[in-house]
Structure 1
């Protein structure tokens, strides 16, 4: 079931969205060569704690997961696409890092992700991240009342495919509300004019995931969480929580 939020509810959802934005900005600022992924998780925890927010990631255990997620961010490096568990790995010069973070505050959730490089960036990584951001912007622009889920999916997928990148099969965005993951699903590729009609009050997480090698396949690490490219190529992941309103899409996780 899809819950349509009131204008007041959407305004209230800006609070956890701002917390997520602050956490991502703080993690990105702290991400330097030699800093561990566990340290970055600590930075995000401090932001959430200071805001009185909780993490929808910590302890989350969907059906596919062998264990509950043990952190407040997903930290995916280089060939890791999504769901990387923060560990003692220390960032190296040239790493491509994707950070996903959520927050719950006032009964509402927010969810967003960013990708960036550490130290000296590879030009190919910068192009990959730039394309992911362009795909996200295209998806957000399509989040208009009267459009359909397929219009968002088509907008995202068109940008990704035109650049020659892969799209991990079966993964994409989702509804956001009282919980981090709600209906409907928002694929990263699809046919325009298909799927659920978008209505004011819907709140969606739009999250392109791109694979540089061009394949849609992936593999899962032994931890049961981390998804990696099968060819070892790099990946990028970006995301915003977006409200559909009569005045157009509103990004609730903007800085």
Structure 2
């Protein structure tokens, strides 16, 4: 693991500016998601909004990635490509966005229901979101990362959901993926100690199937649940302080 960089209050303010634009993107998406809409339309909407705001979608061009967002539908749990297939009633879609504003980055993914989803999928969405917030509650100076991961893992275990352990949160600031890794599982009292000034993403990815196993598609990006079950993700960028967490991608 590389060196963890601590951010000043001023630098955290810059990340919050990017995070505010990102939150506005998710607000727009929530109003647009419905049967018949395509993820490519959503992708263009986000890119055009960020351009108007003097910001940039950091994913575009990252290791050759061609889009402004990741759009992952149903059993695709992460890094799906936006496309021109209309979303159907009962689908879920995770839109993951990284905003670059003046060289500072914020990252947030959110799963949306399309029309009316099955009750067990709705519960998966609600509980995964709850797991994210339970993890965030633990984010504080002097707390080990194992406490954060364990808070999320406990929710998955209660429901019998799979935890996609191949995908973890991360530090963020000037670069998209900075140390440390932030798993959505862990042992209380273990792991790197959080310090004031760290900025991390907290992002559980759970599947309805119990294993959480995934495979990578031939395109080198698309990650799909191995058992074909629906996967969902919720993610915020969070600053560590002595007084607790500050969500930088919230409204």
* TM-score normalised by structure 2 residue count: 0.97
- Contact kept, 8 Å, 2:146 with 2:191, in 1: the verdict is yes
Deviations 1:121-170, CA, capped at 9 Å, x for gaps:
21111100001111100110010111011111111111112111001132
- Give how far 1:28 is off: 2.3
Matches within 5 A, 1:122-161: 122-161=118-157
The reply to whether residue 109 of structure 1 matches residue 105 of structure 2 is yes
- Contact kept, 8 Å, 2:33 with 2:112, in 1: the verdict is no
SS in 2 for 1:253: coil
Structure 2: any 5+ residue segments left out of the alignment? none
Deviates further, 198-207 or 6-15: 6-15
Alignment partner of 1:235 out of 231, 235, 247: 231
Q: Distance in 1 between matches of 2:87 and 2:30?
A: 12
- Count of residue correspondences: 249
Q: Distance in 2 between matches of 1:195 and 1:108?
A: 27
Alignment partner of 2:28 out of 26, 31, 38: 26
Structure 1: any 5+ residue segments left out of the alignment? 62-67
- Contact kept, 8 Å, 1:22 with 1:47, in 2: the verdict is no
Q: Distance in 2 between matches of 1:169 and 1:137?
A: 18
- List structure 1 runs of 4+ shifted beyond 6 angstroms: none
Q: Distance in 2 between matches of 1:94 and 1:105?
A: 35
* TM-score normalised by structure 1 residue count: 0.95
- Give how far 1:46 is off: 1.6
- Contact kept, 8 Å, 2:161 with 2:211, in 1: the verdict is yes
